[in-house]
């Protein structure tokens, strides 16, 4: 099972049947064997975007609780790096959730992400690599 980062967009689509990416992300995740890793800011963003349906929010949290998603804990050193990234990419702009995913990529050595955003082609890790989006739009 391959460790892969996941952004909020695909998580939202997974739990919102009306999302235009729902079918594609569901099939994509079923077709692979992924150990999904994300961060608390990503989970917070996804939960907030699902606030129109409390059942969807609960389903998301139950999925995390059952091990569908591992949440990386970030320390104060990670916050320092998030600040650096946010300043560096202020023209994109980089939000907190995206910055934490770049930090997770650096910390865990993971270079694959599942996202519906194109920003990850712009962002670079400390070793000048980008995080490769494996979910083709």
The size of the chain, in residues, is: 137
Task: List the Cα angle 81/85/128 in 5-degree steps.
Answer: 95
Structural domain count of the chain: 1
137: pLDDT confidence band, cut at 50, 70 and 90?
Answer: low
Mean pLDDT on 17-43:
96
User: Domain limits at 120?
Assistant: 2-133
In whole angstroms, what separates CA 83 from the centre of its chain?
A: 18
For the stretch 46-76, pLDDT in tens is 999 999 999 999 999 999 999 999 999 999 9
CB burial of 112-134 (b: ≥16 within 10 Å; e: otherwise) equals bbbbbbebbeebebeeeeebebb
Of 137, 109, 118, the C-alpha closest to 28 is: 137
* Domain CATH for 115: 3.40.50.1010
């Amino acid at each position: 099972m391959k460790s892969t980062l996941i952004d909020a967009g695909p998580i939202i689509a997974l739990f919102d049947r009306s999302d235009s990416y729902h079918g594609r992300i569901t099939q994509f995740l079923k077709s692979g064997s992924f150990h999904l890793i994300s961060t608390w800011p990503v989970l917070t963003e996804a939960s907030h975007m699902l606030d129109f349906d409390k059942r969807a929010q609960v389903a998301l949290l139950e999925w995390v609780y059952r091990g569908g998603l591992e949440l990386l804990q970030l320390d104060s050193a990670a916050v320092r790096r998030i600040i650096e990234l946010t300043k560096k990419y202020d023209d994109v702009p980089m939000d907190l959730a995206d910055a934490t995913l770049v930090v997770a990529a650096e910390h865990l050595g993971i270079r694959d992400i599942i996202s519906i955003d194109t920003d990850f082609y712009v962002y670079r890790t400390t070793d000048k690599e980008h995080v490769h989006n494996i979910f083709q739009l």
